[in-house]
């Protein structure tokens, strides 16, 4: 009698096919989600618009980067990138006077309350001036330092009010879409609004 072997379908090459597809996808795809430093450009002004009201000099922190990537703060201090964060914090958090929109004195500021520095976080403008020849790396390093300064201040005030850092609130937003959390984040943002103004670069580079 003949053997009753049922011939098995050879699935050995299946693995090869799957590997081929796998390798194709590995090569043709990227894993990372793009991340970056988010900024907003100012709106374009109509040509016949009256010039904006002058800001008091003490409410503006001027940072300039020259084409050799050196930093100058307030026109007279030569500083390093690592000092920018603390300088920005001291400036924003000074709280020397009354804020905009009738919010009164800054009761959550822990700064020196000096007369020579900013009145209120919502008045404190950081002006960043670069040269056309400034390297992009240095430019981003300053932006990042400023971002860190704001994050640190927001973390602090958020911990005081809600017992949780601002970054933790942002993370929580991924799973929790409630309006309450959104309001909390907005409140913190309003306490320390990010006001960074980029001045058109000077054309001395290259």
Partner 1 sequence: MSKFKKQKKGLPAISTASLPDIVFMLLFFFMVSTTMRETDLKIIQPTLPKAHNTKKLEHKNLVSTVYIGKSINESIDGDVIQLNDKIARVSDVKNFIFANREQLLEEEIPFMTTLFKVDVGSKVGTVADIKRELREIDALKISYAATPEND
149-188: contacts with partner 1 (CB under 8 A): 151
Nearer to partner 1, 135 or 172 (CB): 135
Nearer to partner 1, 113 or 135 (CB): 135
Element (H, E) at 197: strand 196-202
Check binding of 141 to partner 1 (CB under 8 A). Answer: yes
Check binding of 56 to partner 1 (CB under 8 A). Answer: no
Coil, helix or strand at residue 75: coil
Check binding of 6 to partner 1 (CB under 8 A). Answer: no
CA dist., res. 67 & res. 133, Å (int): 5
Q: Using CA atoms of 183, 101, 150, 160 in order, give the dihedral in degrees to the nearest 10.
A: -60
Window contacting partner 1 (CB under 8 A); options: 47-55, 94-102, 131-139, 176-184: 131-139
Check binding of 200 to partner 1 (CB under 8 A). Answer: yes
Minimum CB separation of residue 107 from partner 1 in Å reads 26
Can you tell me which of 72, 79, 113, 148 binds partner 1, judged by CB under 8 A?
148
Check binding of 206 to partner 1 (CB under 8 A). Answer: yes
CA dist., res. 129 & res. 201, Å (int): 6
CA dist., res. 127 & res. 197, Å (int): 5
Minimum CB separation of residue 115 from partner 1 in Å reads 30
CA dist., res. 196 & res. 76, Å (int): 20
Kindly give, in sequence order, each residue whose CB lies less than 8 Å from that of residue 181, ignoring residues fewer than 6 positions away: 169, 172, 173
> What secondary structure letter does DSSP report for 44?
P
Binding site for partner 1 (CB under 8 A): 11-12, 14-15, 17-19, 21-22, 25-26, 28-31, 33-44, 65, 130-137, 139-141, 143-144, 147-148, 151, 198, 200-201, 203, 205-206
């Amino acid at each position: 009698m003949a053997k009753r072997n049922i011939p098995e379908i050879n699935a050995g090459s299946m693995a090869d096919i799957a590997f081929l597809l796998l390798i194709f996808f590995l090569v043709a795809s990227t894993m990372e989600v793009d991340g970056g430093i988010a900024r907003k450009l100012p709106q374009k002004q109509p040509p016949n618009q009256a010039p904006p009201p002058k800001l008091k000099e003490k409410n503006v922190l001027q940072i300039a980067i020259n084409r050799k990537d050196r930093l100058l703060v307030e026109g007279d201090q030569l500083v390093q990138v690592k000092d920018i964060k603390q300088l920005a914090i001291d400036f924003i958090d000074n709280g020397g006077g009354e804020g905009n929109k009738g919010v009164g004195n800054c009761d959550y500021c822990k700064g020196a309350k000096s007369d020579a520095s900013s009145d209120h976080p919502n008045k404190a403008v950081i002006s960043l001036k670069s040269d056309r020849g400034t390297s992009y790396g240095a430019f981003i390093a300053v932006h990042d330092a400023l971002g860190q300064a704001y994050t640190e201040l927001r973390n602090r005030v958020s911990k005081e009010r809600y017992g949780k850092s601002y970054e933790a609130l942002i993370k929580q937003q991924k799973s929790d879409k409630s309006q309450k959390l959104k309001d909390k984040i907005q409140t913190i943002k309003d306490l320390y609004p990010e006001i960074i103004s980029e001045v058109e670069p000077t054309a001395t580079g290259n």
